[in-house]
Structure formats: C-alpha cells, structure tokens
C-alpha cells in the first residue's frame, strides 16, 4: 500500500528522512516537470523550475496545512514559479535584444483543439478551479489515480468520486471555452491523462535530490520566535502544548537546525540503522566492477530493480554503469528491458545515457528499434546529446533512419530533434544541416515540425528566420500562420491573431503556398467580420485574395449564410467557382439561398444537377414555398425531369 504523502512529509520534518523526501520527489516529479514545461515552453527552464519547486517544498513543508493535498500545493507552486521565471527571462531578453518582427496576439483554435492548443493555458485554468475541483482534476487526470483510490483518499464512495471528477472536468471545459478553446469533457478526459504528466528527464530526480540536501525546513514564524526565546527545560515542558497547537492550526512540527550534538542532531543520529544506511548509500553508490558472467550480471540488475527506494535504486544503477565495460551496454539494456516497465523506466534512461556517451550511434540504433514497444523510452535524449557533441554525425544518422513516411506537424522526426538541439548553441550550422536532407518532402516535414514546435517560442523563430532562405523561410512562415493562439499569462506565441497571420502572408507572398489562408480568414470572420471583409477588399488579385475569399465565405456560410450571399453578390469580381461551390455546399439546409448562386455556375451539367438536387430537397422540406419559387423561376426540362413527380 502506498505511504500517504503527509506521513512522508512528517518523516522528513521530524527526522530529516531523505529517503522519505526522495519518495515524494519520485511520486510527483513527472507532474511538476510537465507543468513547468508547459508554462515555460523550454526544457532548461522547466528543469530549473522543477528543482526550485522541490527546494521550496523542503523549506516550507512545515507550513503546508494538513488539509491541503500535496498534489495541489505542488501544482500551484510550480505554476507560480514558472510564470515568475518566464517573466524574468522575458524582461532580460527585451533588454538584450531588439524586437523587429511582427508582434503577436489571439486564440482561434479549431472547435476540438488538440493538446498543443490546450497546453499553454490548461495549468492556469486548473489553478483557477475551486479547491475541491482542482484536487479531483489533479488526482484523476494528472496523477491518473483510479476513482476507487480517490474515494478512499477523500472519504467518498466510488460513485461520488466519479461524479465529482466529471463535474470538475466539466468546469475546466467551461473555463477553456471562455478562452476560445471549445472542447468536450470526454476529450479532456482523454487528453489530460495522456499529456498532463509525461516522464521527466532521467537525471532530473538526482539533481533535485542533490539540490534539496541540507535545506532547513521553515517553521511558522510565531513558533520560530518562541522556540528561540525559551530554554531547553521550557521546551520540554511546553512540547505537548506545542504539538496540540500545531495540530489545531493544521501544521507539522520540524526541528530547528543545530549542531551535531544538539537535540536535532541526536534525533537524526538515533534513527534506525537501516534508514541511515539507505541515506548513506544514496550519497555514495560506490563503483564496483561488473560481475564476470551474464547470469551474475542479470541477478545484480534484478537486485537493483527490486530496491524499493527510487533514489537508492538510481544510485546503485549509476555505480553499476560506471563499472561496466563498453561492450556490455547492449546486454544491460536488454536485461533491464525484461525487468522494468514504462512506469519505472528511469533505470533504462540511465543505462541508455551511459551507452550514448561511449557510442551514440550504437545506442541510437538499438533504441530506435525498440522505442515503439514498452517499456523503452524513445531516442530523443540520445539524439540531443549526440547533436550537441557531433551535429553532422547525428544529422546523418537522423536522415538515414527517417522512414520517409509523411508525418503530422506535431510528430517528432529524428532530424527535427537534431535541428532544434543544434539551434540552441550553433544557429549558423542549421542551414547546412538542413541541406543534408536529400528529398524535398523530408525537408518540408522538418520545417513544418520546427514551425509547430517554435510557434510559442518567438525568440527561437526569429533566429531561425534570420538564417533560413527561401523556400525554407517561406515554408516556416506559412506553417506559423496555422498556429494562431492567444498565449497564457507569462508565455508568448509568434502569431496571436488572424490579423497578424494575414499581415505575415501579405508581406511574404511566397509563404501563401505553404499556409492555410482559408482557415485564417474563416477564423477572422468569426471574431471581427468587418475587419476581415475590409482586409479581403484591399487584397490585390492573386492566390491570397482567392483563398482568403474562400475562407471568408466558408466562415460566413456557417454562421450567417445571408451575409455570405450579400457579400458574394456585392463582390462578384472576388468570387471564383471554388468560392461558389463552398457556399452552395454549406447551404444545403437553406436551398432558397443556394439557388441564387447555382445559376451562375459555369459547367452546365453540374449546374443542372445542383438545381435538381436543391429544388428536390426544398420540395421535401417546404413544398408550398418551393412550389411558389418554381412558379416564379420556371426551370428547363433538363431540370424538371430530374425532380420528384409529386
């Protein structure tokens, strides 16, 4: 049975039990790191925030009221620290760099947004939920706990826990809708468990625990003052009263820091020897030569995997790997693969990282063939380290191991991992690496992936636009106009409003080929019809005007078909046959409107077929109105022959 969070906190506070704190880090690191990554949009900043969050937990554990679930406290603290760090970084960059490109501003996500649209705002909105609802969302969809476990934790029936979790996620859906991100509770129930708390980087837990060692927990201020004011005899006499007072106010008591021979030091020294031994092992894993036979090595790994304390388990694994000959890395990975699951793949990531330092090509080849199966991690971390050490070699491997299949913009491809990594440290090398890709379709997939990943990182995109030349530059700009969204507080986005996306396309005609102006202007019409119509009126003849008009008509046809018709009749020079087809197909339920445009169709056979189809549908819906229209608009025999006899 899992040890409750509060029990582990009490162990840490009363005995500085680092193993207990390590269990809390292992339990919540994925959630904390994932929240920080969504808010900062940056891996390095996310690691810093995760470390700061657990340092703050170590400092303020005694100040957390007992009735506040730790998962809620960590989520709120992580988001606040991440927002503060992003703001500080933004201010620093504004002092160092001039902003010269198009500004950013607004959310026009499609009716059913994917995770990329929800990620920038979901943590802020979860934090805005009432405390009871926030706790349920975090437990059910971030921590992925079962309804039965939540019911036990909160003292509810399983049925009540299920109903309350549904109501909580429904409130989150409403908040998202107010931000222009309409979705369903069912979609959220699928997206949140899949994306809200992915695995944190393999070595982050170790760095967090190292950073929190020696941190002194803070007492509530009134108790700190009082404890310093009384002598030892008085402390003993008042001890029972203190504990009762703390219990009444909802706090835990932690010992004050002191020298080795103080009360605190004695308390630590008197802990059971097993716990002290565990802490000692976690600090000094020791390097021992690998066992001589394969069976002995397997048994050693099996014993390491069975260690219940994650920090000690990882420490032992590091010691094993440091004594491992290079020729045994693959054997180690295969043995670990049979002993672990994806839920506990940290040891696999440690072993993979160790192998990659010695032979990145061999490690990448091995993991590339395993990554689609549990419990294997993907090859991202290997490629990132390799790209920093030897960019051309990493890129050559990425090109060789790309399947050639077309992938979505949100799907990682090996080359995009290499480019994104190299761009952080050696931007000038990026064009040469892109030129290594032999096929145009693969280069396009790569640039679109960069556009997707960089759409909420304006500084990165600005740098890429400086080093890229057409057609790659046009492709990147066109891709960016497809990701129009208003960023969450403390974050940024390259294109925030449809107007900004349209401005990019007007200033860069070559980008139109790679963009989706139809969706851009359709979204704009929903937000500000007058501005969208005025913009279309001012566009010069060409592909952008034709496609923008199509988007405008499509948006109007769904929201206000009568306005769409009036626009078409008042701007006949803007209307192409494709535009007319869009309007006609969008107004099947209002045939009287479609019939004002069908006679203008160019192809006679299609015109006759559409007339017969829409008139026939109208006769079924409203025979009297359709009959009256036919009397006023007699149709040729080619049409009437196709109508129902009645």
C-alpha span between 394 and 400 (Å, rounded): 10
| Structure tokens belonging to residue 633 | 């608009």
Q: 214's torsion region: left (phi>0), alpha (psi -120 to 50) or beta?
A: left
Residue of 536, 388, 416 whose CA lies nearest to 476: 416
| Max mean pLDDT range (156-165, 246-255, 619-628) | 619-628
Residue whose tokens read 């080849």: 365
Residue whose tokens read 């390095």: 44
Instruction: Work out the pLDDT band at 356, boundaries 50, 70, 90.
Output: confident
| Structure tokens belonging to residue 536 | 């279309």
Of the listed ranges 20-24, 107-111, 420-424, the least confidently predicted one is 107-111
C-alpha span between 576 and 82 (Å, rounded): 49
- 80-95 pLDDT, tens per residue? 888 877 777 676 566 5
pLDDT at 1: 58
Instruction: Work out the pLDDT band at 341, boundaries 50, 70, 90.
Output: low
> CA–CA distance from 249 to each of 62, 165, 255, 597 (Å)?
11, 29, 17, 74
| Structure tokens belonging to residue 134 | 């926030």
| Structure tokens belonging to residue 372 | 């689609």
Q: Where are the alpha helices (DSSP H) in 158-203?
A: 158-178, 185-195
Of the listed ranges 1-15, 187-201, 236-250, 281-295, the least confidently predicted one is 236-250
pLDDT higher than 60, residue 105: no
- pTM greater than 0.75 (yes/no): no
pLDDT at 507: 92
Residue of 109, 136, 130 whose CA lies nearest to 121: 109
C-alpha span between 362 and 157 (Å, rounded): 52
Q: Which residues contact 599 (CB under 8 A, 6 or more apart)?
A: 607, 611
Q: Are 574 and 602 in contact (CB under 8 A)?
A: no
> Residue 77: what are its φ and ψ, rounded to 5°?
-65, -45
C-alpha span between 577 and 598 (Å, rounded): 10
Rounded to the nearest 10 degrees, what angle do helices 380-389 and 360-368 cross at? 160
């Amino acid at each position: 049975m899992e040890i409750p969070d509060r029990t582990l906190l009490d162990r840490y506070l009363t005995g500085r039990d680092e193993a207990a704190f390590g269990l809390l880090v292992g339990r919540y690191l994925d959630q904390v790191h994932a929240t920080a990554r969504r808010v900062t949009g940056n891996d390095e900043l996310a690691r810093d925030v995760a470390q700061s969050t657990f340092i703050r937990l170590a400092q303020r554990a005694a100040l957390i009221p007992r009735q506040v679930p730790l998962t809620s406290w960590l989520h709120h603290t992580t988001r606040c620290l991440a927002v503060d760090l992003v703001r500080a970084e933004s201010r620093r960059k504004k002092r160092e760099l001039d902003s010269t490109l198009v500004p950013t501003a607004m959310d026009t996500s499609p009716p059913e947004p994917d995770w990329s649209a929800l990620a920038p705002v979901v943590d802020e909105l979860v934090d805005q939920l009432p405390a009871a609802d926030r706790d349920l969302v975090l437990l059910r969809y971030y921590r992925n706990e079962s309804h039965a476990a939540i019911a036990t934790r909160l003292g509810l029936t399983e049925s009540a826990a299920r109903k309350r979790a549904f109501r909580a996620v429904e409130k989150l859906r409403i908040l998202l809708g107010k931000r222009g991100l309409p979705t369903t509770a069912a979609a959220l129930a699928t997206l949140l468990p899949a994306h809200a708390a992915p695995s944190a980087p393999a070595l982050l837990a170790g760095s967090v625990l190292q950073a929190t060692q020696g941190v002194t927990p803070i007492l509530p201020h009134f108790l700190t003052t009082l404890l310093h004011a009384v002598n030892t005899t008085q402390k003993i006499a008042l001890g029972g009263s203190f504990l009762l007072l703390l219990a009444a106010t909802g706090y835990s008591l932690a010992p004050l820091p002191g020298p080795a021979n103080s009360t605190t030091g004695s308390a630590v020294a008197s802990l059971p020897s097993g716990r002290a031994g565990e802490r000692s092992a976690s600090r000094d894993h020791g390097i021992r030569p690998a066992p001589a036979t394969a069976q002995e090595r397997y048994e050693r790994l099996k014993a390491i995997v069975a260690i219940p304390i994650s920090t000690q388990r990882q420490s032992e694994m590091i010691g094993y790997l440091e004594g491992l000959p290079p020729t045994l890395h693959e054997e180690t990975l295969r043995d670990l693969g049979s002993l672990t699951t994806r839920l506990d793949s940290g040891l696999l990531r440690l072993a993979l990282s160790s192998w990659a330092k010695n032979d990145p090509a061999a490690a990448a080849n091995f993991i590339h063939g395993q990554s689609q199966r549990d419990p294997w991690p993907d090859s991202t971390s290997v490629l990132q380290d390799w790209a920093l050490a030897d960019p051309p070699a990493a890129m050559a491997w990425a090109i060789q191991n790309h399947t050639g299949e077309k992938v979505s913009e949100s799907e990682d491809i090996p080359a995009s991992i290499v480019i994104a990594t190299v761009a952080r440290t050696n931007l000038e090398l990026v064009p040469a690496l892109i030129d290594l890709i032999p096929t145009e379709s693969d280069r396009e997939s790569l640039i679109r992936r960069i556009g997707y990943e960089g759409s909420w990182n304006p500084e990165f995109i600005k740098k890429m636009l400086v080093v890229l030349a057409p057609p790659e530059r046009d492709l990147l700009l066109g891709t960016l106009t497809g990701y129009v969204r208003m960023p969450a507080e403390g974050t940024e986005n390259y294109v925030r409003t449809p107007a900004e996306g349209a401005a990019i396309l007007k200033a860069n005609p070559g980008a139109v080929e790679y963009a989706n102006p139809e969706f851009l202007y359709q979204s704009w019409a929903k937000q500000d019809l007058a501005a969208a119509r005025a913009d279309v009126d001012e566009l010069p003849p060409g592909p952008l005007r034709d496609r923008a008009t199509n988007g405008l008509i499509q948006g109007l046809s769904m929201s206000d078909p009568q306005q769409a018709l009036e626009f078409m009749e008042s701007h006949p020079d803007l209307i192409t046959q494709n535009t007319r087809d869009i309007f006609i197909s969008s107004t099947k339920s209002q045939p009287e409107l479609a019939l004002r445009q069908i006679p203008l169709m160019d192809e006679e056979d299609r015109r006759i077929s559409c007339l017969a189809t829409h008139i026939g549908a109208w006769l079924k819906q409203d025979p009297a109105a359709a009959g009256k229209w036919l009397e006023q608009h007699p149709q040729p025999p080619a049409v009437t022959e196709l109508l129902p006899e009645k």
